[in-house]
Structure formats: structure tokens, C-alpha cells
A and B are shown apart, each in its own frame.
Chain A
Amino acid sequence: AAGVIQSPRHLIKEKRETATLKCYPIPRHDTVYWYQQGPGQDPQFLISFYEKMQSDKGSIPDRFSAQQFSDYHSELNMSSLELGDSALYFCASSPRGSGANVLTFGAGSRLTVL
């Protein structure tokens, strides 16, 4: 079965650089979530999209932005990177419209900021 695809899996950036993470949800999943997991931490909700519109916003820094495109894939853009942005970034999708509410997570994108 198709899963949530995240790219890149690993990314190394310097401070003050910009990074873009991509997420391709499971087909027919209309809701996408982004989470940030720091070392030894539980995942922290950043932002979610439902039918290409932002539906909820969590602890996403102003330096980050995200969007969901017409094909339902989503991109998380991070600018002016800081050392503290080093983390595992998860994307999850769900068929929210159907009420199933089961989030399927991608394998994560590990961002290292040097």
C-alpha cells in the first residue's frame, strides 16, 4: 500500500540558510500535518492543511511557512535556519473527510543545521 512520502530524508544546512521539505500524502488523503521532533522529545505539532487550506496552526515559528498544493502534496519552507531547528520533521496524512482520524506518518526528514 502507498505510504506518506517525505523528501529529502536527510538534509544538512548552515545557519541562516533556507530549507524546503516536501510531503506526498497517501492518495485520497485530504489532510496533511507537519510535526517537529527534537532529539529525545515527543513530536510537536506545527501546522495542518485540509483541502489545501490551513486548518490548524501549532508552534510553528514565523520563519517557517507551509502550503498544500492542488495535488495535495505539501511543502514546509524554513528560512533563517537556527541550530535549534535541527530535528526530525514528520509529515502525516489522514482521510479527515471520512472521519477515520488515523494519521499515517512518513518516515521523516532529518534536518541538521550546522
Chain B
Amino acid sequence: AQKVTQAQTEISVVEKEDVTLDCVYETRDTTYYLFWYKQPPSGELVFLIRRNSFDEQNEISGRYSWNFQKSTSSFNFTITASQVVDSAVYFCAFMDSNYQLIWGAGTKLIIKP
């Protein structure tokens, strides 16, 4: 069965520190998609990135970067020089070939000024 594990329930760092949010998934599918969504305190779900299973290139977008490693079934997310506005719950999600989204439990990130 497909599963997404975000082992870190809550992370608290001081502003300007780098922080990595872990995501590990389980699947037997060869074709799938991985996502990260941000949920700020206001509640909406904000799309951050999608990666398909055939593209293991790491991606950088400003202070955000993602490391996709099929060998370890991980899709980790790093925020460099964190800011208070990065405080949110971050969800990693897996989409199988039937377009079902399976969510991790989320990691609550607290950035202290």
C-alpha cells in the first residue's frame, strides 16, 4: 500500500537557520508524482512543487530546494535562511497512477524571530 511518512511532527528553529523537512514514501508503482504543499496559519493549501518519478533532478526555487532520491524513497524539502513567514504546516503528498493523493501527516514548522 502507498504511504507517506513525515516523521517530524514539529520543528522549531531560529530565523535565518536552514531547516530540512523529511518525507519518505512507500510504493510499488513506477509512475507517480510527489508534492509539497504549505498550509500557513490562515489555513489554505499552497502548492509548492510537483516532481514525477522519472525526474530525479533536484530543484531550487529561491530559498526553497528539494532533494528527490528514488533509492531511498525520499523527497526532502530544505528552506535556507528561514524567515518567520515560513512558519506553517508543510505536507508532503504522493499521487499514484489513479490520481489518488496520499498525504503525509504534516510537519509543523515554527520559525522564531
Contacts and interface: CB of A to CB of B under 8 A. Distances in A.
Partners in one complex: yes
A107 interface: yes
A56 B105 contact: no
Contact of B98 (A41, A56, A103): A56
Interface residues of B, number: 19
Nearest to A3: B44
Interface class of chain A by DSSP:
strand
Contacts of B44: 105-108
Interface of B: 33, 35, 37, 43-47, 50, 91, 95, 98-101, 103-106
26 contacts: A33-B101, A42-B91, A42-B104, A42-B106, A43-B45, A43-B91, A43-B101, A43-B103, A45-B100, A48-B99, A55-B99, A56-B98, A56-B99, A88-B43, A101-B50, A101-B95, A102-B47, A102-B50, A103-B35, A103-B47, A105-B37, A105-B45, A105-B46, A107-B43, A107-B44, A108-B43
Sorted nearest first, the 8 A-B pairs with minimum C-beta distance are: A42-B103, A105-B45, A107-B44, A102-B50, A42-B105, A42-B106, A108-B43, A101-B33
Given A42-B91, A56-B99, A106-B44, 4 more contacts: A42-B103, A56-B100, A94-B99, A101-B99
